[in-house]
A and B are shown apart, each in its own frame.
Chain A
Amino acid sequence: MGLLDRVLSVARRRSPWICRLNAGSCNGCDIEVTPIFSPRYDAEQLGIQVHGTPKHCDILVVSGTLTERSRQAVLSMWEQMPSPKAVVGLGSCPASGNVFAESPLVLGASLDTVIPVDVWVTGCPPRPHQILEGIARAAELLGAGATQDQIAARAVTAAAGLERRAS
């Protein structure tokens, strides 16, 4: 690994910018995200910044039960994020549907059937320090090149290389 790669790896780990998406949440998890920027938790120490647009961000934080209507929005947000990127599923809802599971308008599937999820932070709602830990872990994955997105990109590159060698 060259010097530039090493610097890049540290920079990715130390500068996770997050973008929040409420995919049908009761707002409980979203309210628990706000305190991580307060003096008590101070996410800026870890280099975390919250941005409103997915284009500026590295980590998508999705909260809430997926619904028929929010599925497209989740996919669109994820596609708009520039690689390398990570996804954090916030709360129990994106994983299982939680108490809303089997409601008529709820998509009866977990978030990773729509987009690849790297870290689950379960809880209803999770506490702010758990959310911080989840984001920090996603940032570590980004730095190590081990997010689902980075692994998939490497697989595509490797496949293209094999194809070139075969032809």
Chain B
Amino acid sequence: MTPVLAYAVAFLVWPGLLLAAPLAWLELWLMRKTVARLQGRVGPPFFQPFFDFMKLMGKRAVIPEGVDRVAFVVLPMLALAATAAALVLMPMPGNPAPRLPGDVMVLIFLLEVPVIAEVVAGYVGRSVYGEVGAMREALMSLAYNLPFLASIVAMAEAAGSFDLGAIAALPFGLVHVVAGIAFLMALPARLKLNPFSIANAESEIVASGLIEYSGPLLGIFELAHALEVVVLTELFVALFVPVPAGITAALAVYVGVGLALLLGLSFLSAVTARLRLPQAFRFYWIWGGAASVAALAAGLVP
């Protein structure tokens, strides 16, 4: 396989769009079902995220008057493309794409694109509520990115390289635990779950920055967000969990740890209430900052 074809297969099939989307829907369903069970409800049927997506794709898109139509249409595509490209970089078993040197840097950039796309979408839509949502999203990304980036940098520091392969080959040690905790601290805010569901606080600001989006454009944004869940859980496993060598065993660890992680996150989101923006910010800059320092220090320990 030529590299171009390999990248195309990785982007479109595995670990990219075609096979990651069902995994993303499984994970979304698991999260919604867990929250429902914890609230004493039956919860959504198994195919619910798939139905939601298909229904949105089958609707017409309403583009409000006076918005920049090109930006309005391109932003969801950009978010989806960046997330699928981030999936290509994952060291999943059976990933046909050749490894890039310094792929962690590319990954960090690609993971920021959907966040930026959503912030810009909030302002492009010209809704006041959307602007508040976008502002909250932007401020939250300044907060949770401190432990998020520090945990990844700590791992790169310990491995002495910004290659995901080198980090994954690192023998399990103290830095995995400490940096893993910092990563986990950032995860609920990255996925916009309670208690950090500040940017998409439906009872305060109606919806997130995507308030003006409808139909297929909203569906693409939702798919990008679902794939983000997959990328982040896979990234957690790739960075902090020792993965066995066999393909089946490795796949089982990737999916199993990912689902377990989401169970925990759903539990957290079901038992907590939403914080205010300054509270969340303070949490991330004090406790997240402390975790970041600890992770970076642990990365220096040989």
Chain A residues with CB under 8 Å of B60's CB are: 82-83
Chain A residues with CB under 8 Å of B202's CB are: 51-52
Chain A residues with CB under 8 Å of B39's CB are: 39
A84 at interface, CB cutoff 8 A = yes
Q: Which of A8, A12, A45, A82 has the most CB of B within 10 A?
A: A82
A44 at interface, CB cutoff 8 A = yes
Q: Which of B41, B52, B211 has the most CB of A within 10 A?
A: B41
Contact of B36 among A14, A44, A84 (CB under 8 A): A44
B52, A47: Cβ atoms under 8 Å? yes
Binds A, one of B99-107, B213-221, B226-234, B285-293: B213-221
> Could you tell me the distance between the alpha carbons of A51 and B212 in the complex, rounded to whole angstroms?
12
> Could you tell me the distance between the alpha carbons of A11 and B49 in the complex, rounded to whole angstroms?
10
Chain A residues with CB under 8 Å of B62's CB are: 55, 80-82
Known interface pairs A47-B44, A82-B61. Does A11 touch B51 (Cβ–Cβ under 8 Å)?
yes
Chain A residues with CB under 8 Å of B45's CB are: 14, 45, 47
Chain A nearest Cβ from B33, distance in angstroms: 9
Chain A residues with CB under 8 Å of B55's CB are: 8, 11-12, 14-15, 58
Interface residues of A in 1-51 (CB under 8 A from B): 7-8, 10-12, 14-15, 39, 42, 44-45, 47, 51
Contact of A39 among B40, B52, B53, B212 (CB under 8 A): B40
B23 at interface, CB cutoff 8 A = no
Known interface pairs A8-B55, A83-B60. Does A44 touch B44 (Cβ–Cβ under 8 Å)?
yes
B43 at interface, CB cutoff 8 A = yes
Chain A residue at minimal CB-CB distance from B36: A44
Taken residue by residue from 79 to 112, chain A's Cβ proximity to chain B (1 for < 8 Å, 0 otherwise) reads as: 0111110000000000000000000000000000
B54 at interface, CB cutoff 8 A = yes
A76 at interface, CB cutoff 8 A = no
A157 at interface, CB cutoff 8 A = no
> Could you tell me the distance between the alpha carbons of A45 and B48 in the complex, rounded to whole angstroms?
9
B109 at interface, CB cutoff 8 A = no
Chain B nearest Cβ from A154, distance in angstroms: 14
Q: How many residues of B contact A (CB 8 A)?
A: 31
Chain A residues with CB under 8 Å of B215's CB are: 82
Taken residue by residue from 183 to 222, chain B's Cβ proximity to chain A (1 for < 8 Å, 0 otherwise) reads as: 0000000000000000000100011000111110010000
> Could you tell me the distance between the alpha carbons of A11 and B216 in the complex, rounded to whole angstroms?
14
B282 at interface, CB cutoff 8 A = no
A15, B42: Cβ atoms under 8 Å? no
A53 at interface, CB cutoff 8 A = yes
Chain A nearest Cβ from B93, distance in angstroms: 30
Chain B residues with CB under 8 Å of A42's CB are: 36, 41-43
B59, A45: Cβ atoms under 8 Å? no
B58, A44: Cβ atoms under 8 Å? no
Known interface pairs A8-B54, A11-B54, A83-B60. Does A53 touch B44 (Cβ–Cβ under 8 Å)?
no
B126 at interface, CB cutoff 8 A = no
Contact of B51 among A15, A53, A80, A82 (CB under 8 A): A15
Chain A nearest Cβ from B282, distance in angstroms: 28
Chain B nearest Cβ from A149, distance in angstroms: 11
> Could you tell me the distance between the alpha carbons of A82 and B63 in the complex, rounded to whole angstroms?
10
A44, B41: Cβ atoms under 8 Å? yes
A69 at interface, CB cutoff 8 A = no
B207, A53: Cβ atoms under 8 Å? yes
Chain B residues with CB under 8 Å of A14's CB are: 45, 47-48, 51, 55
